[in-house]
Chain A
Amino acid sequence: MKPHLEHIEPQADRVFRGRPVSDGIARAQAVVTRQPFMFSHGLDPASGIVIDRSHELYGRLVRGSVLVFPRGVGSTSAGMWLLEAVLQGNAPAALVMEEIDPVLAMGALFARLFFQRSLPVVDKIRPAALLAIRTGDWVEVDGGAGMVRLLRGGREGAARPPRGRLPEGGASGGEGGGCRRC
């Protein structure tokens, strides 16, 4: 499904460069946390809801969002949890991190190698830039180029989404948000 986002233009002063980790392009609203995020036993792949009770995002739907967080924590199965969420269509549309770890990188790599699915991932964004992204902002993540763009219509859009109909749970470009198994 192609989201109707043509009216949202990137702002030149709001482009952040990071490191390309995993290819793909996604446009969606950001969910931002300063706390490390636990995918294993922390994100329910069947719903896309955060089930880690000790996390500030507990109970929140992160499906289809651009999840912005410092780093992953939890067990070394986190990559499979992420992969499963991708295949069930309940993963975030993209990940933006301070620093990826091998566990999560593998989830994105396996999605591409074994299932031809893309989950754009960019890491090593400057901490100051990470602070500039707020929950509800519309952002575009280009995993192949290592770029994160804050889109106009962003912050206001948190409460009132920009013009045009948006798919439920946030829009995503590319293949990031589709559902393969239902």
Chain B
Amino acid sequence: MRLTDEEKRTLDGGRGEARRVAMEILAGMGKIFEAGRLVPVRSAHVLASLLNFHGAGLEVIERLAALGARYAVPTTVDPVSVSLEGDDIPLPPGLAERQRRICAAHAAMGVVPSWTCTPYWGGNLPGYGDHVAWSESSAVAFVNSVLGARTNRLSTGLEIAASIMGRIPECGLHLTENRRPRVRFRVEADPADELDFGAIGYLVGRLAPGRTPYLVGLPPHATWEQLTSLGAAAASAGGIALFHAEGVTAESRRGAVDLRGLRRAEEHLIDRAAIRRAVAELTTASRTPDLVALGCPHWSVRQLSRLAALLRGRRVRDSVRLWVYTSPYVKRAALEKGVAQAIEASGARILTGTCMVISFLRHAGVRVMMTDSVRAARLVPSEHGCEAVLAPLAECVSRATEAGAG
């Protein structure tokens, strides 16, 4: 990899120890991935959950913060393992302390305290063609596909180094030739909600892991929420960092998708039956849920508004908890709109800064979680040893509530 004189000086320690270490990380990764050079990035998004960091990651980030490292570009941060409300799941003191130290290190380096996996609802919104350095696989799929920005699936640590330097090795999805689709999916299912879109993403990930798919047949008016759900499921099921959907995603709408490789590519059909099978596959229990968990990835104001409408005239049953996850700023907007109050009046909780995947559901005594999130249904059973029931939002609400004022 060619380095500029300034980058060489940094690597030799001429710009301080923190930047030297960050540059060594970038140079090491650039070499492995045969990047020609480093390119400037406009923003970064970093992870912070102690489940992501463990002891090893904590040691790394504290060492960088102690060296005086600072984020050089606007940098938002993912959710953590305790909610900002703080009273949902009592964490064992050791774990809470470790989480606090990770957050403190990020704060010392100048992170924007977004605590969300959907920072685009709060303003970290890369432009078309922008190089960025994002972690969080669901957000990576979104910014690559829906916004047409460019990032690889960066891991905890690499995005931190990239943000400290404001640069990333130019390889993988930063290069136009690597953004070409390799496999075609024909969708004949009229997907209507986040569950349908999530199931499509799950199938794409299972059938073509690691490849860039080209989807035909998604409705042109598909919402960002639906596409978030598709990308999040495809990422968790198949490591997919970029999907193209004809007439829907950014590069397709601009006619910028190179379709030549698709002529002889394999094609898969996704129909209603396939979606039903996927939902059944991800449903591991038929027992009554003790937790109905919504908001994976973190919900938008529009999704909270829809939930408020479904909850009108209903209250959460005594035997079940209804928790909804979002970011602090979306909750704030929902409060101003009156939507958050309507939701909580039913007995549901809006929790910010965490989610069901990275908080310790086991400590809350959760045995069966019901959700409309394909990603959560895929990840929670492995991580928390509880069962998952996957169902449309209206069904989740009716299982969690009964008629009556809150």
Contacts and interface: CB of A to CB of B under 8 A. Distances in A.
Interface of A: 21-22, 36, 38, 40-42, 45, 51-54, 70-81, 83-84, 86-87, 99-107, 109-110, 113-115, 181
A161 to B, nearest CB: 31
A102 B152 contact: yes
Contacts of B55: 84, 87, 181
Contacts of A110: 25, 56, 60, 157
Interface in B1-50: 21, 24-25, 28-29, 32-33, 47, 49
B378 interface: yes
A114 B309 CA distance: 51
Given A76-B154, A77-B51, A110-B25, 7 more contacts: A75-B136, A76-B140, A78-B155, A84-B55, A102-B154, A110-B157, A114-B56
B32 A40 contact: no
B236 A74 contact: yes
Given A36-B210, A36-B238, A76 B153 contact: yes
B286 to A, nearest CB: 17
B56 A54 contact: no
B350 interface: no
A40 B49 CA distance: 12
Interface string B276-308: 000000001000000000000000000000000
A107 B155 contact: yes
A72 B155 CA distance: 12
B129 interface: no
B54 A83 contact: yes
Contacts of B21: 113
A42 B51 CA distance: 12
B74 to A, nearest CB: 19
Given A114-B60, A114-B63, A52 B238 contact: no
B26 to A, nearest CB: 10
A70 B238 CA distance: 12
B209 A113 contact: no
A99 B136 contact: no
Contacts, number: 137
Interface in B39-84: 47, 49, 51-57, 59-60, 63
What is the size category of the interface that chain B forms with chain A? 35 or more
A109 B25 contact: yes
A15 B54 CA distance: 36
B157 A79 contact: yes
B165 interface: no
Contacts of A53: 284, 381-382
Contact of B32 (A21, A70, A81, A87): A21
Given A73-B239, A114-B59, A114-B60, A80 B32 contact: no
Nearest to B34: A19
A105 B31 CA distance: 11
A123 B309 CA distance: 52
15 contacts: A36-B210, A40-B52, A41-B357, A53-B381, A73-B236, A75-B235, A79-B155, A84-B57, A87-B56, A101-B152, A102-B153, A103-B153, A109-B32, A110-B60, A114-B59
Contacts of A103: 153-155
Contacts of B153: 76, 101-103
Nearest to A81: B54
Given A76-B155, A77-B155, A106 B29 contact: yes
Nearest to B135: A76
B137 A115 contact: no
B383 interface: yes
A36 B235 CA distance: 12
Contact of B137 (A45, A52, A76): A76
A1 to B, nearest CB: 22
A37 to B, nearest CB: 10
